[in-house]
């Protein structure tokens, strides 16, 4: 089971008797270590259901689950492999009653939270509401409740936000709902306040493995400590050089605290890289070198020196994009088995993607953009999905809350709070409670009438959807529904401008067409609908709405060039990486120091620079075979064009040679000519080899 592991990996896999910290450098095989350690634990006699492997994304959990299944077979099905938030849901579903939560509590998404905070703070200023949301999330990540946040508030704005947080928490409780931060903070509260529950879960968790440990926040660390208890059967796998999420609460202090809290901690370093060439790793090691080290390490590889890292200066953004496209075309033409998925263009911020999208479209190169907002993440699409989810499952309380308040239909937060209390008392979903005969005693007549009207509209829409077949009928019904609920007017009332409302309405129409086409049947032009070929009723299609969330993940498997932010690229790799916009002010991002800054402000600035350096390091180590880095001589800031300076990180790469690049068209012609010449030479060699074989055969059978 441990074949193919190097000595450091074997040491990590076989350390079963106590806590360990596995410092897994980029590309050093950390997922392999985690899956093999799960197998080793099972081999040593630990029941699979007593093993938990925790990571940060659903995609990472799915990959780990699949690789564990390949390694250990059927027992892998019993291993708990999930995200921190999914673990929190599991704890709360099982024992949340101790905190007053019903098992069917709702989980609100970001837009649901925004709506709640707008009501709590009586504000329509979206920027202000987002600021409240970030502030409250930061307090929850640090393990503070509203009362503690108020005590810690340092200015009137924070005091106001802490007061708002108290109202927000009351609403969540009344709605029997939680937000994503609660999925960590509430399980932590549960284990702290209820020792019997804590003991139950400690017995359940025979060994806990944590991936991307450097990305944990204070609350997640405290939750882990309570789960593993004094026996400390814990394997933390992470890399302090890849800690790039400080802005969302992740803290390197958790790495510092491990040896303090677990005196028997064994530290194991994985320094052999299986991803990148020597030239790429040398640049990465040089870049990360100036950062202070918790646990010094140096990546190395047996993959050979490889091509030198190339650095070039572009005149402006369009020039840089043209150059990138030319490089991709050249490398693609050179490849024996060309694949567009082998290429990635990485940048610091989402807004930098546009010019590369344009250049790729002009060159007719397929691409996808990750790290930005997906179509199904837009607020207007999530609104419609909430309605459709409610048609498919009337017990979906988060969908009920969103649909009942978007657009506004005379149902206020006070009504929903009373409905939530009633539903909780009688253990009903919100939709079931709406039609209860006893509800009239709990609500004013006007509020009850508004709820009943909403319930009737949902039931009627569900009935019509069940009896609506084919594209044309489905599109007509969706159009009538949007008109009846006044959704276009809602967009204009809530948008910052008429143009923004029009763009959002266009998204809505695209979505309705997308749904209607899946009902099948002929389109207006006589052609068949895209999917499926047979006709389905609208309700059947609506019941697959949950699959929408996986669309973006499926897109990543397509044969396309990837455009991605550096943050979104973490954990991924490509044969060829183009790291663009590597300018001061972009990477590192705006680190100007004021001359009169005090020591605390300078310290904050230094910590930000260290995280930006780690971000550059992550970008470099995504590359397997080639890495090209480019910076702009002039770059756009707003509507102005200003002189650009190469990032300090380029000098820190300490490259022996900084390549200067020819005109991209000349470069492409040269690469194509070289490729043609190589192909011609290979063909000539094949002919010569064939002739030699023929002559050898002739000699063997004595043919003159």
211 assigned to active site: yes
Are 47 and 206 a contacting pair, CB within 8 Å? yes
Of 50, 225, 275, 622, catalytic: 622
Q: Any catalytic annotation for residue 31? A: yes
The beta strand positions in 540-689, using DSSP E, are 561-565, 574-579, 623-632, 634-637, 640-643
The residue annotated as part of the active site, out of 31, 251, 610, 624, is: 31
Bridge partners, 267 (sequence order): 21
Please pick, among 181, 212, 317, 612, the residue that the annotation labels catalytic.
Answer: 212
Contacts of 195 (CB under 8 A, 6+ apart): none
Instruction: Return the closest-CA partner of residue 33 out of 50, 45, 44, 20.
Output: 20
- Of these residues, 9, 30, 182, 626, which one is catalytic? 30
As given in the structure block, the two tokens for residue 90 are 């599991």
Q: Which of 214, 242, 565, 624 is catalytic?
A: 242
Asked if 214 and 294 touch (Cβ cutoff 8 Å), the reply is no
Q: How far apart are CA 624 and CA 650, in angstroms?
A: 19
- The residue among 396, 539, 400 whose CA lies nearest residue 461 is 539
Going 146 to 151 to 157 to 163, the CA torsion angle's sign is positive
Buried/exposed code over 242-256 (b: 16+ C-beta within 10 A; e: otherwise): bbbbbeebbbbebbe
The active-site residue out of 95, 169, 182, 211 is 211
Tokens standing for residue 612: 């930006």
At CA 85, angle to CA 235 and CA 620, rounded to 5? 65
**Active-site residue 622, yes or no?**
yes
Nearest residue to 313 via CA among 583, 92, 591, 612: 583
212 is known as an active-site residue: yes
How far apart (Å, rounded) are the C-alpha atoms in residues 92 and 188? Answer: 10
Can you list the pairs that 429-435 forms with residues at least 24 positions away whose Cβ atoms lie under 8 Å?
429/104, 429/394, 429/395, 429/396, 429/397, 429/400, 430/397, 430/400, 430/401, 431/390, 431/394, 431/395, 431/400, 431/455, 431/458, 432/394, 432/395
Provide the pairing of β-strand 177-178 with 106-107.
Answer: parallel
Cα separation, 595 vs 599, whole angstroms: 11
| Active site residues per annotation | 30-31, 211-212, 242, 622
């Amino acid at each position: 089971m441990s074949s193919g592991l190097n000595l450091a990996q074997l040491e990590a896999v076989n350390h079963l008797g106590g806590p360990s910290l596995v410092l897994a450098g980029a590309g050093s095989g950390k997922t392999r270590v985690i899956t093999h350690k799960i197998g080793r634990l099972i081999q040593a006699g630990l029941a699979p259901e007593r093993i938990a492997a925790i990571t940060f994304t659903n995609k990472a959990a799915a990959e780990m689950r699949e690789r564990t299944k390949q390694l250990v077979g059927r027992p892998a099905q019993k291993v708990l492999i999930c995200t921190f938030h999914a673990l929190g849901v599991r704890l709360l579903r099982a024992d949340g009653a101790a905190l007053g939560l019903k098992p069917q509590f709702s989980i609100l998404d970001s837009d649901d939270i925004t709506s709640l905070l707008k009501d709590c703070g009586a504000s329509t200023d979206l920027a202000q509401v987002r600021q409240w949301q970030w502030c409250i999330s930061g307090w929850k990540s640090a393990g503070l409740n509203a009362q503690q946040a108020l005590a810690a508030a340092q200015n009137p704005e924070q005091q106001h936000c802490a007061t708002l947080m108290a109202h927000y928490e009351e609403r969540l409780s009344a709605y029997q709902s939680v937000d994503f931060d609660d999925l960590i903070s509430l399980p932590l509260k549960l284990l702290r306040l209820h020792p019997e529950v804590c003991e139950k879960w400690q017995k359940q968790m025979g060994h806990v493995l944590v991936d991307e440990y450097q990305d944990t926040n204070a609350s997640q660390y405290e939750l882990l400590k309570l789960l593993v208890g004094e026996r400390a059967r814990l394997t933390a796998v992470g890399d302090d050089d890849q800690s790039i999420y400080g802005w969302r609460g992740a803290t390197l202090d958790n790495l510092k605290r491990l040896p303090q809290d677990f005196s028997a901690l064994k530290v194991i370093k994985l320094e052999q890289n299986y991803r990148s060439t020597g030239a790429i790793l040398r640049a990465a090691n040089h870049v990360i070198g100036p950062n202070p080290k918790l646990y010094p390490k140096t990546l190395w590889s047996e993959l050979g020196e490889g091509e030198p890292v190339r650095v070039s200066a572009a005149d402006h953004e369009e020039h840089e994009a043209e150059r990138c496209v030319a490089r991709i075309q050249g490398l693609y033409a050179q490849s024996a088995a060309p694949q567009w998925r082998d290429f990635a263009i990485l940048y610091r911020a989402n807004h930098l993607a546009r010019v590369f999208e344009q250049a790729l479209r002009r060159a007719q190169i397929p691409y996808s953009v990750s790290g930005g907002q997906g179509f199904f993440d837009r607020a207007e699409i999530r609104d419609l999905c909430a309605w459709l989810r409610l048609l498919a499952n009337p017990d979906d309380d988060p969908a009920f809350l969103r649909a009942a308040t978007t657009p506004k239909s005379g149902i206020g937060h006070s009504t929903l709070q009373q409905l939530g209390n009633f539903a909780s008392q009688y253990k009903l979903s919100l939709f079931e409670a709406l039609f209860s005969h006893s509800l009239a005693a709990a609500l004013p007549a006007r509020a009850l009438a508004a709820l009943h009207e909403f319930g009737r509209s949902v039931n009627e829409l569900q009935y019509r959807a069940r009896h609506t077949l084919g594209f044309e009928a489905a599109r007509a019904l969706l159009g009538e529904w949007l008109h009846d609920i006044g959704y276009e007017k809602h967009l204009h009332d809530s948008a910052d401008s008429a143009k923004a409302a029009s763009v959002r309405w266009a998204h809505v129409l695209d979505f309705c067409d997308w749904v209607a086409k899946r009902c099948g049947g002929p389109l207006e032009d006589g052609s068949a609908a895209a999917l499926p070929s047979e006709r389905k009723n609208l309700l059947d299609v609506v019941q697959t709405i949950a699959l929408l969330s996986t669309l973006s993940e499926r897109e990543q498997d397509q044969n396309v060039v990837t455009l991605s932010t550096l943050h979104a690229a973490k954990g991924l790799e490509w044969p060829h990486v183009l790291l663009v916009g590597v300018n001061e002010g972009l990477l590192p991002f705006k680190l100007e120091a004021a001359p009169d800054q005090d020591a605390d402000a300078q310290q904050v600035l230094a910590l930000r620079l260290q995280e930006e350096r780690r971000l550059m390091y992550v970008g470099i180590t995504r590359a397997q075979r080639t890495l090209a880095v480019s910076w702009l001589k002039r770059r756009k800031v707003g509507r102005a064009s200003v002189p650009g300076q190469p990032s300090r990180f380029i000098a820190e790469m300490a490259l022996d040679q900084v390549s200067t690049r020819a005109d991209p068209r000349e470069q492409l012609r040269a690469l194509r000519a070289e490729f043609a010449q190589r192909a011609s030479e290979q063909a000539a060699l094949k002919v010569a080899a064939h002739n030699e074989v023929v002559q050898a055969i002739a000699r063997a059978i004595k043919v003159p």
